[in-house]
Amino acid sequence: MIYPADDPHTALLSKDRERVRLTRPGATPIPQGLPAFKPEAVLTRTGAASAEGRAGMLYRDLIPGRLGGRYIASHISIPVGGPVSDWVHYHRIALQMIYVRRGWVRVVYQDQGDPFVMNEGDLVLQPPAIRHRVLESSGPLEVVEITAPALHETFADHAMSLPGGEQPGRAYSGQAFLHSVAAETEWTPYRGAEARTTAMHAATDGLCEVRTIRPGSAVAIEFPPHDGELVFGFVLDGQADFNGEPVDAADSFVVPPGEPWTLGRMSSNFRLLHVTTARLDAAA
């Protein structure tokens, strides 16, 4: 076991019947249950330093305050392609999704058959406790990962070997595995612009929605107040104004629930990853 993934400070090592726990003084313990959601307006600029995390991946923190410990969003990169020093593992989480911004990555999941490749714009929902492994990637690779709660463990499963069999539609704590393929998804009208939607709402039983947005012919996009929790945007490409503030590629933002917001002056190549969640306590 190791945590947190973005900057590990605690690990549990095991061999046969022996176990050793390693930790740093003052390390934050894992919370019991979901931490209370604390809304906050966040604007994170590209260029911030990345920290080396689990399996040698580089993590850039997109929500430094973690919204009370409720959510973590990371811009994760692997600069040099090839095999990834990962192992079969799972996470104790309420919600976790990964979106490929650049490059490709080959992964394998419990009950999903043979390994498959995720390309730019593809998305997976990793339901709670599903076993999985990152096998190899392009160089470079960039993904955006969003997880609740922010602080959570990664557990090794030495007894499971992947790939295994297939169990389509199996539920994991009320969620279904989802692999959304961008190349198979059409752009459709959305608030005067265009969006590529996913089946995330159904796969999470209403907990989360994810879409990729582009301007189309729209000059501006107005978003009404959200009555759930997280409202997160990551600029995949191009430039725009977010509530009148210029944002560029790899910038990200969080809008507190109950507040409207606007995108304007979007460049023709502007693309936004847009993620919203319901009230996780109410859904649980």
Residue 282 has pLDDT above 70, yes or no: no
Residue 33, classed as helix, strand or coil, is coil
Judge if 132 and 191 occupy the same domain: no
Give the H/E segment covering residue 208.
Answer: strand 208-214
Mean pLDDT of the chain: 95
The lowest-confidence range among 52-66, 106-120, 256-270 is 52-66
Judge if 55 and 172 occupy the same domain: yes
Q: What percent of the chain has pLDDT over 70?
A: 99
Asked which of 179, 197, 223 is the last residue of a domain, the reply is: 179
Judge if 168 and 67 occupy the same domain: yes
Mean pLDDT for the stretch of residues 74-92: 94
Phi–psi pair at 182, nearest 5 degrees = -60, -40
Single-letter residue type at 225: P
Residue 284 has pLDDT above 60, yes or no: no
pLDDT of residue 4: 92
Judge if 153 and 55 occupy the same domain: yes
Judge if 60 and 172 occupy the same domain: yes
d(C-alpha 190, C-alpha 256), whole Å? 21
Residue 283 has pLDDT above 80, yes or no: no
Judge if 175 and 43 occupy the same domain: yes
Number of structural domains the chain divides into? 2
Quickly state the pLDDT bin for 153 (edges 50, 70, 90): very high
Judge if 190 and 170 occupy the same domain: no
The lowest-confidence range among 27-36, 63-72, 222-231 is 27-36
Asked which of 127, 150, 179 is the last residue of a domain, the reply is: 179
| Residue 121 maps to a domain | yes
**What is the CATH number for 270?**
2.60.120.10
Quickly state the pLDDT bin for 109 (edges 50, 70, 90): very high
Task: Identify which has the larger pLDDT, 5 or 221.
Answer: 221
Instruction: Name the pairing type of β-strands 2-3 and 10-15.
Output: antiparallel
Judge if 102 and 76 occupy the same domain: yes
Model confidence over 253-266: pLDDT tens digits?
A: 999 999 999 999 99
pLDDT of residue 173: 94
Residue 207 has pLDDT above 70, yes or no: yes
HEC-encoded secondary structure of 88-156 = CEEECCCEEEEEEEECCEEEEECCECCCEEECCCCEEECCCCCCEEEEEECCCEEEEEEEECCCCCEEE
Judge if 197 and 223 occupy the same domain: yes
Judge if 51 and 141 occupy the same domain: yes
Asked which of 179, 209, 234 is the last residue of a domain, the reply is: 179
Mean pLDDT for the stretch of residues 99-126: 98
Quickly state the pLDDT bin for 53 (edges 50, 70, 90): confident
The reported pTM is 0.95
| Residue 123 maps to a domain | yes
**Parent domain of 156:** 2-8+39-179
Judge if 142 and 225 occupy the same domain: no
CB neighbours of residue 282 within 10 Å: 10
Judge if 55 and 152 occupy the same domain: yes
DSSP letters for 215-246:
-TT-SEEEEPPPSSS-EEEEEEES-EEETTEE
pLDDT of residue 50: 83
